[in-house]
């Protein structure tokens, strides 16, 4: 079974007009994605941000829950947040996943605009193989990953489709659906 790593990318992503931006870290993304990660057996969840102050903010959210009052208040939350590692860039996430598993992870791009991409069924099957390489799934904030992130990926997953043309899911919803399709029972 392939081990799964998630990376929530805040740069380079695009805004509603397709411009390259750096988005802000939100504490809710950390909580929601950590809980989904923990539920689906994700090995580590990387929060990727190039700005030191933003990484500090993320660490302060984690410390609140890991160390202080929060720890005694809600242990299930801590158990999830313990999966988070705050890193400056994608390279750092790849290196950390490689250190954890001894193998370079396959970098998997996700996008609501992906027209081709590997099907979830094919990806799930591939990940179920005995000697499957770990996968690092990239999730874009804002209006999605910038083209530069696509170029760093080894493969792309098909877009999540609902029942019509509308597919403007939040990153929190999209990530949980992706994990469920790849590893849910």
Nearer to its own copies, 60 or 119 (CB): 119
How far is it, in rounded angstroms, from Cα 85 to Cα 76? 18
* Strand 106-109 versus strand 20-21 pairing type: unpaired
Distance, in Å, from the CA atom of 143 to the CA atom of 169, rounded to the nearest integer, reads: 10
- Least Å distance, CB 7 to its own copies, is 18
Residue nearer to its own copies on the CB measure, 121 or 148: 121
Q: How far is the CB of 50 from its own copies (least distance, A)?
A: 25
Q: Counting contacts by CB under 8 A, is residue 16 touching its own copies?
A: yes
Scanning residues 71 to 110, which ones bind its own copies (CB under 8 A)? 74, 76-77, 79-80
3-state helix, strand, coil in the chain (%, to 5): 45, 20, 40
Residues in binding contact with its own copies, number by CB under 8 A: 37
Question: At residue 26, what are phi and psi to the nearest 5 degrees?
Answer: -115, 140
Coil/strand/helix, residue 148 = helix
Q: How far apart are CA 159 and CA 115, in angstroms?
A: 7
Residues 143-182 that bind its own copies (CB under 8 A): 160-164, 166-170, 172-177, 179-181
Which spans of this chain sit near its own copies (rule: CB under 8 A)?
A: 16, 28, 31-32, 35-36, 38-41, 74, 76-77, 79-80, 160-164, 166-170, 172-177, 179-181, 183-185
């Amino acid at each position: 079974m392939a081990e799964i790593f998630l990376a929530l990318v805040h740069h380079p992503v695009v805004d509603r007009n397709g411009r390259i931006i750096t988005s802000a870290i939100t504490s809710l993304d950390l909580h929601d994605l950590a809980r989904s990660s923990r539920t689906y057996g994700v090995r580590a969840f990387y929060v990727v941000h190039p700005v030191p102050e933003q990484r500090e903010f993320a660490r302060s959210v984690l410390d609140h829950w890991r160390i202080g009052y929060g720890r005694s208040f809600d242990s299930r939350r801590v158990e999830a947040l313990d999966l988070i590692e705050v890193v400056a860039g994608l390279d750092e996430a790849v290196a950390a996943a490689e250190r954890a598993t001894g193998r370079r992870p396959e970098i998997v791009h996700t996008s609501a605009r992906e027209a081709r991409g590997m099907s979830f069924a094919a990806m799930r099957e591939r990940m179920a193989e005995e000697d499957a390489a770990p996968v690092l799934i990239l999730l874009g904030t804002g209006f999605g990953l910038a083209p530069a992130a696509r170029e760093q990926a080894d493969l792309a997953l098909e877009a999540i489709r609902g029942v019509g043309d509308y597919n403007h899911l939040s990153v929190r919803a999209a990530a949980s659906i992706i994990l469920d399709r790849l590893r849910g029972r």
